[in-house]
Structure 1
């Protein structure tokens, strides 16, 4: 079950180091000595002791990325941010442009209206669609055009509990999955449950924009690249959930078959 994690970590070079890290109430971030920033949603959960014994600051990003395997989810959030510090970089994404479709939204774009759900609405029309994770305005965006099932760890009215994935995912034509599933370790099982030919879209700033995920059944990556390493600090410190989008680009990368 660790194969996805091991492969993502293995792709990080040995000579990249952590300059700074931060655990905010909404987001966690890791900044490299090259001034690259990776983000991840801060997942609350300290039921287990941290596994990392280093200082983090000054340590190799590759080593800090191992925190993603922690069952202390707050620590695991730092691990995901470290992974994204390497992969979620516009230059690296452009390197596999020949095999992918890339669309970027800058800090002045209307990010809410140009997210993955709106972008793929036409593909979802008339299909069975599951969304793992609660995203804003889902019913408004998707319910009128498809048979929508929302799975959520803390379900609201009309949602399914996330444990329903064992029964629902295999029946879907499209599955949107929050990047937070990488942090809480549910992603490998979710990918096992999808039927062949299902379009699987990972969504959110926690998503590593890496072709590694294609090999495990993901077809589309909708993530985020920080382009203003200084400005992002303010929003992470404030616990601002949406302000971070003023500091970078939303990136959609689709596997080309």
Structure 2
């Protein structure tokens, strides 16, 4: 969990928690700002969805909740990542609203592209790439399991990794096999917009900027999938 520890240690401020919401698809924590992360649960039927101190999470500081990111309980880790994101200040600089997968498709034209996570834009990437390798925790017939990472990933020239890999603690297992010359993107509303991730080797961070906390929380509470979410916009930040 070295990268998670690096992210946690990079945050030098704390703030009281104003609100915690664990929705069907998204988790939000409001503190210094409003942070968002995917709501992820372990793929087991009993007990893994229980959150420590549920009902009093709002009495903790955001820094305390961010420590939940270290938990092997993915639901707690979801809360932890949302709390971490609530403390981060979006870096100034190369911020755009370009779709990260459009960048991946363009960069990956005629190349070997690897994608971690089953995203809705895979058809476009497949159409332009010479080869597309898709990795999933529970792979379908034409996808790879994470056990194939050491064999397949070093050959990829463009790589997009879901930021949920932070929540399920697989990112540290993936990064050692990333080709240093590959163009790499960490993508998804859970993405911490932190310089630490550039230091870890990513070229592009694709996450969200919260525009209206009240409307965001309302839509998340009503089980909105991301395209239904109101109050947040997708942004990308280049190294």
Question: So what's the TM-score if we normalise by structure 1?
Answer: 0.84
Q: Is the 8 A contact 1:132 1:162 kept in 2?
A: no
Q: 1:234 to 1:49 in 2, by over 3 A?
A: closer
Q: Is the 8 A contact 1:103 1:252 kept in 2?
A: yes
* 2-structure distance, mates of 1:234, 1:5: 29
Superposed CA deviations along residues 28-47 of structure 1, whole A, max 9, x for unmatched, are 11011x4x211111111253
Q: Is the 8 A contact 1:13 1:62 kept in 2?
A: no
Superposed CA deviations along residues 18-65 of structure 1, whole A, max 9, x for unmatched, are 111011110111011x4x211111111253875679932132211110
1:166: Cα distance to partner?
Answer: 2.5
1:57 alignment partner, SS class: helix
Say whether residues 1:254 and 2:219 are aligned partners: no
* 1-structure distance, mates of 2:137, 2:9: 30
Q: Which runs of 5 or more residues in structure 1 are unaligned?
A: 105-113
Say whether residues 1:200 and 2:184 are aligned partners: yes
* 2-structure distance, mates of 1:223, 1:192: 23
Residue 107 of structure 1: aligned partner: none
Task: Give the one of 100, 125, 145 matched to 2:128.
Answer: 145
Residue 77 of structure 2: aligned partner: 76
Q: Is the 8 A contact 1:201 1:222 kept in 2?
A: yes
Q: How many residues align?
A: 234
Q: 1:54 to 1:13 in 2, by over 3 A?
A: farther
Q: 1:244 to 1:207 in 2, by over 3 A?
A: farther
Which range moved further: 74-83 or 55-64? 55-64
